Chains A and B, each alone.
Chain A
Amino acid sequence: MDFKSSEPRREDALPATAVAAVKVVIVGGFGVGKTTLVGSVSEIRPLTTEETMTQAGVGVDDTAGVERKTSTTVAMDFGRISINEELVLYLFGTPGQERFWFLWRGLFEGALGAVVLVDTRRLEVSFDVIGRLEERGVPFVVAVNSFPEAPQYPLEEVRSALDLPPSVPLVVCDARRRDSSRDVLMTLMRYLHSLAVTPEAS
């Protein structure tokens, strides 16, 4: 059987003292820079986990079936930041379409929160994402990835276009830069902090 497994590099090993992990989900449309953001702050080269989506409606137990089941592979890139000796933060970049979220069971359950990464040239793809996160009660912040060729709008215009409540933080970032991506995560953490102090604020 052709089984090829790779192994973590020695420098990618977590300390034996790592006892717990938390996760943050980076959500955005195709090409918006999710993997770039994850890669710029991650201590490991971003890894890819995959899940298969099998076409519904094909009888799984139909052993006589000669038609091939069509299965689609959906990938999710992720990275890691060691917070301290005990705690590890994982960042998962997932496509904006909700149907993908169910592939990774519990992707949002237990997540600290989410970052919605948007491209001002394709704001419309973010409407649905924001609505779904609100429905699920997942706290999130919105980060506009500033592509050099994209039109620059005042943030208040972006907020209004996204119909974003005033309480939800909205920032501009350059996902290629570590400090900028770090600041986005910091914005999310400070927001979560404010929610935890005053749970009714949202």
Chain B
Amino acid sequence: MSDGPHWEDEGPERLYVITGGRNGTEDPAALDLVTLIVARTGPKPGMQPEHAAIMRMCQTPLSVAEISAYVGLPVSVVTVLLGDLLAARHVMSRPPVAQAQLPDLALIEAVIDGLQKL
């Protein structure tokens, strides 16, 4: 129904408020665009609406990029919000594979197998 972000008309000030002024550079190694996030529970009463929305959508695994798209907030802002939820142990993260320059053969073969089924 919703066609994505609705914050374009608002200035950066609102994003500043959502994150409490943090810019997400504290822990650059932690979250990738394709880190999968899974909620440990449902949303808790009293949660900031953005946190609650993330908790709801992460009842099954969802990538950081998808969360950003669904909540309609920039990845840098979502990363800060996820940092809060990770610190409070409300969600867990599943880091991406293949950090090496050349990924391993088994992984590539799995992707080839998967693509062949498309």
A residues with CB within 8 A of B: 1-8, 13-16, 18-23, 41, 47-52, 54, 68-69, 71, 73, 78, 80-84, 87-90, 92, 104-107, 109-110, 112, 137, 139, 178, 182, 185-186, 189-190, 192-193, 195-197, 199
With A8-B62, A110-B96 as contacts: A83 and B108 at CB distance below 8 Å: no
Instruction: Identify which of residues 1-27 in chain B touch chain A, using a CB-to-CB cut-off of 8 Å.
Output: 1-2, 4-6, 8, 11-12, 14-15
Q: Inside 8 A of A49's CB, which chain B residues have their CB? A: 33, 65, 68-69, 74-75
B residues with CB within 8 A of A: 1-2, 4-6, 8, 11-12, 14-15, 28, 32-36, 38, 49-50, 53, 56-57, 60-63, 65-66, 68-72, 74-76, 94-99, 101-105, 107-116, 118
The docked-state distance in angstroms from the alpha carbon of A141 to that of B114 is 19
Give, as a whole number of angstroms, the nearest-CB distance from A21 to chain B: 4
With A6-B4, A21-B35, A21-B63 as contacts: A189 and B96 at CB distance below 8 Å: no
**Listed residue (B1, B75, B111) with the most chain A CB atoms within 10 angstroms of its CB:** B111
The docked-state distance in angstroms from the alpha carbon of A87 to that of B63 is 12
Q: Inside 8 A of A13's CB, which chain B residues have their CB? A: 60
